[in-house]
Chain A
């Protein structure tokens, strides 16, 4: 019964924050000789552990660190197709001639005359909120249904996880066929019922709704599976005790299930938000940002800058860094608000 205090849902908050200040400052304050001594001590004590993790550290540094540093550097230059380094065959080498523009790319994106950033950010945020919110609710509802003993439960579980099991680009392409105005299944079905056809992908507003629908369809199984795992780890004694006290089904859900699910759901929401914010394939394959730029996310817009027509590496890197910063800020605030609620995470 240790995991969750069901009355407050706040296990051990003071302890978690209590030891943090005790560590950092003291180390930095020590005299140099002492610090060197500590380093040597640490090395002699933990060298074996560090040797073991070294491959991972190096791989992460190469796969994550190097592109990150390179991207941040490029975002301060005017690099494009014409002025980047080229190695043509074995013999002809053309050195890079791009130059630094400081923060010019950033000010252009954020405050330039034809800045599309704020409009794109607006749609990206509403898309993220709608997708994460609705798919979380659907996933939660289905998980609770499937957590009961119903017939064919294994069959339903398998069926509901299918959208997740099929590669995203395959199902997105299928949706594109389904939503085709003249030949799509959806409009055939609507017309068979005597309803007017809907311009799923050709109307600017409808296209925004359509991409959100498809993304919800793709992402609810992840929520469902995660929440189902969380549900099954809630001890049955809690519900038995609640029943003894005469709690209604709603009270059991509100006072036991939801608080107990908090560790799972907070992680699920954070991950879904990051994934949805940067959900490239759905937009790219379903509408390619159109009509106009009405379904263009920040990340698909950055891709277009980088990879269509004359490729603007500098500017698109700046877009990438801005997207990264937005997500980092979000993650920091989210974690802080969770910690305030007593979640050690």
Chain B
């Protein structure tokens, strides 16, 4: 008897809850008009900014730039929040989809922008004060801010990957030039192993982004967005995965499928490993970490080794994007305008080594004369464009699973790329 009443009470309570939740959705309305040309000095408000940069190595520089901004625009208050990159995409989507506690401006990774734009979360920025002098931006970073013909983000920093090497270890092993191809990479690594007893190359094994330059080198790619086909499991993909497996199996490279970043950085920093493929985002850590690079000139940077078909590394980077539901669009636009201004970009480059996205900044002597800029300018222009599609975010999860399975010997390179391809076909509905 008691149980009967319990059940009916539960049902009643449930019904009440469901009804309450059902009626909470509010009706649609018009979006606030994007701020036209207003005097930035007169804008007031507060801007919540979610930054995903490395909290220790990079964030202090961004905070210093933001402090400059607040000095220049005392009417605008910036609420800076550092969100770890790994959790950020989920947090952004959750906040944007409900509008509660959502940031006004985010640091959007290049692959997020098309997805967030397709979900209507981002404010189109063409013609607003956020996007000043659009022609000054490098074409490659700009390509990643477009969706369906509109601009949804302003490039903050751009990057690509390169071969980082320890010059002293090369000299000790009698190697004069950094390897130009994957074959030379293997030969040099084995020479280093033989002469120094150290490992030649660190292949980061827990993040499939580090496999892309090998894939592009063989002429492969994850997908072809134009013809809507999955290309990861074609012969080039198999070849690239086999090459990486061979590097590890032959002892030319070491890898680990957990804690790859920490292991790679500390091995390279301490001089246990002579080479790694990495991006400019690692410069802040290398330069501040001491070890083998206490003398900064010991660090060599070269183009990623070429495969049999090409020599290319993936294009990455970050952009500023404004939430379409922001209550502070005018202040946010002024904020983005300042943060992407030439003086801010110069300061960010000097503080973190992250590469600027404006042509005018690259032309400035204090940027152009640095070794990093000299090397990366060329690499940036040649960087391999990734597919800027809303589904870009689905590409890496299956690839990481198969990449780690391949490197740990659980699957053959053929099986690994085939499984990744099947997952893409299921997620994207492509051929």
A-side residues, CB < 8 A to B, are 27, 38-39, 42-43, 46, 50, 54, 57-58, 60-62, 65-66, 69, 81-82, 84-95, 113-114, 176, 180-183, 201-204, 286-294, 304, 307-311
Contacts and interface: CB of A to CB of B under 8 A. Distances in A.
Interface stretch (B22-30, B59-67, B278-286): B22-30
Contact of B426 (A46, A114, A183, A203): A114
Contacts of A304: 397
B237 to A, nearest CB: 17
B325 A88 contact: yes
Contacts of B29: 90-93
9 contacts: A39-B4, A84-B97, A88-B325, A89-B31, A89-B327, A91-B30, A94-B120, A114-B423, A292-B404
B393 A309 contact: yes
Contact of A202 (B256, B397, B406, B422): B256
Interface string B230-264: 00000000000000000000000001111100010
Interface stretch (B6-14, B37-45, B363-371, B374-382): B6-14
Interface stretch (B76-84, B350-358, B408-416): B408-416
Contact of A290 (B28, B120, B257): B257
A196 to B, nearest CB: 16
Contact of B93 (A57, A81, A87, A291): A81
A307 to B, nearest CB: 6
B17 A293 contact: no
Nearest to A85: B25
Contacts of B259: 176, 180
Interface string B320-345: 00011111000000000000000000
Contact of A86 (B119, B393, B408, B411): B119
B97 A65 contact: no
A62 B134 CA distance: 51
B258 A202 contact: yes
A57 to B, nearest CB: 5
B183 interface: no
A261 to B, nearest CB: 31
A176 B260 CA distance: 12
Nearest to B87: A307
B31 A91 contact: yes
B75 interface: no
B174 interface: no
Contacts of B258: 176, 201-202, 286-288, 290
Interface string B115-128: 10011110000000
Interface in B110-150: 115, 118-121
B54 interface: no
A294 B410 contact: yes
A220 to B, nearest CB: 24
Given A88-B325, A89-B99, A182-B263, A309 B397 contact: yes
B423 A181 contact: no
A224 to B, nearest CB: 30
B327 A310 contact: no
B425 to A, nearest CB: 9
A87 B90 CA distance: 16
Contacts of B21: 66
A291 B255 CA distance: 12
A87 B409 CA distance: 46
Contacts of B206: 290
A319 to B, nearest CB: 15
A236 to B, nearest CB: 39
Contacts of A57: 6, 9-10, 13
B14 A182 contact: no
Nearest to B9: A57
B330 to A, nearest CB: 14
A65 B14 contact: yes
A291 B14 contact: no
B96 interface: yes
B407 A291 contact: yes
Contact of A92 (B120, B255, B256, B397): B120
Contact of B90 (A203, A291, A307): A307
Contact of B26 (A87, A113, A287, A311): A87
B401 A290 contact: yes
Given A292-B402, A311-B90, 12 more contacts: A57-B10, A69-B18, A82-B119, A84-B97, A86-B96, A90-B325, A94-B120, A95-B25, A180-B259, A292-B408, A294-B408, A309-B427
B64 to A, nearest CB: 30
B272 to A, nearest CB: 8
B396 interface: yes
B28 A293 contact: no
B50 to A, nearest CB: 16
Contacts of B325: 87-92
B97 A291 contact: no
A201 B427 CA distance: 29
